[in-house]
């Protein structure tokens, strides 16, 4: 006992406030509120288009709602999951979680090391109780048999002897429930850490790759149409590989619904190393060291040859982007460096040429404007010709899949073909008003690829699997204690033989089946004694 109480002290206000805030933050009520906030805060990300998911949709939203969109953008409405308010909710939640589970982890270690406590004085006050019954063996032997029977049921068991000749057996089971619960919560932390590091050290790039050994690409940021690097990563950190698409197969149902896609490619993973053939498809990405190549989509790239006023020829393979399931595809072939006078070597910017239009792999025999089948059964191009300044020399980034509308509007670029687009089938050529000529030589297929790498994926997966394991343990187990007290029969000398045994049980968690288990445990303990009596 302490000799004297510590002198009354004025509590430090700041300390008290901090302590109370911490207690408040780590309370279950706060955790529940934060869980709810997290769920509610996630909703806008499904309602509003997200930059991380689809940039074009965000641009579309800005066009459709010019007043509302900038306001929502300031609130982080198009980057919900990277916004400060979303981050503050989950960081508070995880702080609350750490504050809750770390003390519990220490408690649990203590509980795992300590032996089950001695029996309470009055077992009949416990939720479960079995009244004293006589046994033939003496208390020490009875306690040993009961303990053995409990250990067989995988209880942690301790036998104690009191000076008055009474023996108690204390047993506990179900610590795995708390183990699982803690495992679940620490696994969640591992997942969060994994996601964070994956964001820092991961990268991805998207690229459209036309079939052919002459048009491969090597892994570097400039080769991607769109890319992002984690903040802790430089452009030089990307692994080396080169890839060229040698073949692409697509098969379709008669309805036009796709049946299968497959890409054949050659890959080189070391400078001057050998090219080796690989295959990949929609659900089976090409796994390279520190990079995975995923097949996202495909389409057609018409091959077009333009012959200018001076007889110079230029050939371009121009990917047309599909806009529907039947691969009706849109695109533009731009020829900025044509009609250069060989005598002066001067380029006339007003004589640049472009052809814009659609490609139909299968023309509608009824004359519809869209393709009727995604494979090339009756392919044709429908093009409109433009001449003038394409606006590609201004140094501004523009789409390679559409003309610069500004140049059309300001009259620097003019339509030079008729109202209706010119139809071209493979092998056909089209002579324009100035005598120049466009030939449709054929098509190649292209594939759209996503190249990605996330170094912490194994950590996230491991965390998720351990979390599930912990979850199942924490939802299935029950912590409970059972005590047996064996006393010498009243009035007899110690060691005279025979004893009285009573039992009590205490479920530590909500456990409706406990009574049944308790009865079985008691019956087994009694039966164990009886069996010992029968067997010599």
Partner 1 sequence: MAELSDQLMAFTVLAYLAAMVCYAAEYAFGNRSHIGRAATRPARQLVGAGAPAEVVPPDDETAPPRDRGVLLGLIGVGLTWLAFALHLGTVVTRGLAAGRMPWGNMYEFILAVTLVGSAVWLGVLTRKPAVRHLGLFTTLALVVLLGAAGLIAYTPVSPLVPALNSYWYIIHVSTIILASGILLIGAVPAAMFLVRAGYDRGKRSFPYTLGAKVPPAEALERLTFRLHAFAFPLFTFGALIAGPLWAEASWGRYWGWDPKEVWAFISWVVYAAYLHARATPSVKRSTATWIALIGFVTMLMNLFGVNLFFEGLHSYANAGGM
Residue ranges binding partner 1 (CB under 8 A): 28-29, 31-32, 35-36, 38-39, 42-43, 45-47, 50, 52-53, 57, 80-81, 195, 204, 253, 255, 257-261, 281-285, 292, 294, 296, 450-452, 454, 457, 460-461, 464-465, 467-468, 471-472, 475, 512-513, 515-516
- How large is the angle between the packed helices 139-152 and 514-534, nearest 10 degrees? 130
How far is Cα 67 from Cα 64, in angstroms, rounded to an integer? Answer: 9
CB nearer to partner 1: give 365 or 513: 513
504 in Cβ contact with 482 (< 8 Å): yes
CB nearer to partner 1: give 24 or 114: 24
Please classify residue 352 by burial: count the beta carbons closer than 10 Å to its beta carbon, then call 0-12 exposed, 13-18 middle and 19+ buried: buried
Pairing relation of β-strands 422-424 and 429-431? unpaired
How far is Cα 279 from Cα 190, in angstroms, rounded to an integer? Answer: 34
404 in Cβ contact with 392 (< 8 Å): yes
Smallest separation (angstroms) from partner 1 to the CB of 181: 9
Smallest separation (angstroms) from partner 1 to the CB of 478: 10
With residues binned 3-state (H G I as helix, E B as strand, rest as coil), the percentages for the chain, rounded to 5, are 35, 30, 35
DSSP designation for 396: -
Smallest separation (angstroms) from partner 1 to the CB of 296: 8
Smallest separation (angstroms) from partner 1 to the CB of 223: 17
Q: What SS3 class is residue 1?
A: coil
CB nearer to partner 1: give 132 or 471: 471
Give the CB-side neighbour count of residue 321, counting CA atoms within 13 A.
Answer: 11
Smallest separation (angstroms) from partner 1 to the CB of 258: 5
CB nearer to partner 1: give 79 or 266: 79
CB nearer to partner 1: give 39 or 402: 39
Q: How close are the terminal C-alpha atoms of the chain, in Å? A: 53
How far is Cα 362 from Cα 330, in angstroms, rounded to an integer? Answer: 14
Q: What would the two tokens of residue 531 be?
A: 């069996």
How far is Cα 217 from Cα 125, in angstroms, rounded to an integer? Answer: 79
Smallest separation (angstroms) from partner 1 to the CB of 351: 43
Smallest separation (angstroms) from partner 1 to the CB of 515: 7
Smallest separation (angstroms) from partner 1 to the CB of 61: 12
CB nearer to partner 1: give 73 or 434: 73
Smallest separation (angstroms) from partner 1 to the CB of 309: 47
Residue 535, CA distances (Å) to 140, 528, 531 in order: 19, 11, 6
CB nearer to partner 1: give 431 or 520: 520
With tokens 């001057």, the residue in question is 272
Give the distance between the most distant pair of CA atoms in the chain: 132
CB nearer to partner 1: give 175 or 408: 175
CB nearer to partner 1: give 57 or 314: 57
């Amino acid at each position: 006992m302490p000799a004297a109480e510590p002198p009354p002290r004025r509590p430090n206000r700041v300390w008290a406030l901090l302590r109370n805030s911490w207690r408040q933050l780590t309370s279950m009520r706060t955790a529940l509120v934060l869980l709810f906030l997290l769920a509610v805060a996630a909703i806008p990300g499904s309602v509003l288009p997200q930059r991380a998911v689809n940039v074009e949709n965000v641009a579309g939203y800005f066009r459709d709602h010019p007043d509302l969109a900038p306001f929502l953008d300031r609130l982080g409405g198009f980057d919900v999951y990277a916004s400060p308010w979303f981050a503050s909710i989950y960081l508070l939640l995880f702080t609350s979680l750490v504050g809750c589970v770390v003390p519990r982890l220490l408690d649990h270690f203590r509980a795992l090391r300590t032996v089950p406590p001695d029996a309470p004085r009055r077992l009949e006050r416990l939720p479960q109780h079995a009244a004293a019954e006589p046994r033939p063996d003496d208390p020490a032997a009875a306690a040993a048999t009961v303990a053995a029977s409990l250990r067989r049921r995988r209880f942690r068991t301790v036998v104690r002897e009191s000076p008055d000749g009474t023996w108690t057996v204390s047993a506990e089971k179900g610590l795995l429930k708390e183990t699982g619960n803690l495992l679940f919560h620490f696994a969640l932390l591992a997942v969060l850490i994994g996601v964070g590091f994956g964001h820092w050290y991961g990268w991805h790039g998207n690229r459209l790759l036309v079939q052919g050994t002459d048009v491969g690409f090597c892994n570097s940021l400039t080769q991607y149409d769109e890319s992002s690097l984690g903040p802790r990563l430089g452009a030089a950190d990307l692994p080396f590989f080169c890839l060229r698409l040698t073949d692409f197969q697509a098969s379709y149902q008669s309805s036009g619904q796709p049946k299968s896609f497959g890409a054949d490619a050659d890959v080189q993973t070391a400078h001057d190393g050998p090219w080796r053939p690989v295959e990949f498809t929609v659900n089976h990405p090409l796994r390279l060291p520190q990079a995975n190549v995923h097949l996202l989509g495909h389409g057609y790239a018409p091959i077009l040859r333009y012959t200018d006023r001076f007889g110079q020829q230029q050939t371009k393979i121009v990917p047309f982007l599909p806009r529907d399931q039947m691969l009706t595809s849109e695109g533009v072939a731009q020829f900025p460096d044509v009609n250069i006078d060989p005598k002066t070597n001067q380029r006339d910017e007003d004589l640049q040429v472009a052809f814009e239009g659609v490609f139909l792999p299968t023309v509608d025999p009824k004359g519809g404007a869209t393709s009727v089948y995604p494979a090339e059964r009756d392919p044709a191009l429908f093009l409109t010709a433009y001449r003038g300044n394409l606006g590609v020399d201004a140094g501004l980034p523009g789409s390679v899949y559409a003309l610069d509308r500004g140049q059309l509007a300001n009259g620097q670029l003019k339509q030079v073909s008729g109202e209706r687009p010119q139809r071209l089938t493979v092998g056909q050529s089209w002579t324009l008003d100035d005598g120049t000529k466009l030939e449709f030589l054929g098509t190649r297929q292209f594939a759209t690829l996503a190249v990605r790498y996330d170094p912490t994926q194994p950590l996230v997966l491991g965390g998720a699997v351990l979390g599930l394991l912990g979850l199942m343990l924490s939802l299935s187990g029950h912590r409970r204690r059972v005590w047996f007290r064996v006393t010498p029969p009243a009035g007899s000398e110690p060691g005279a033989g025979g004893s009285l045994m009573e039992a009590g049980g205490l479920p530590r968690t909500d456990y409706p089946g406990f009574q049944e288990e308790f009865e079985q445990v008691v019956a087994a303990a009694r039966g164990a004694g009886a069996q010992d009596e029968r067997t010599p």
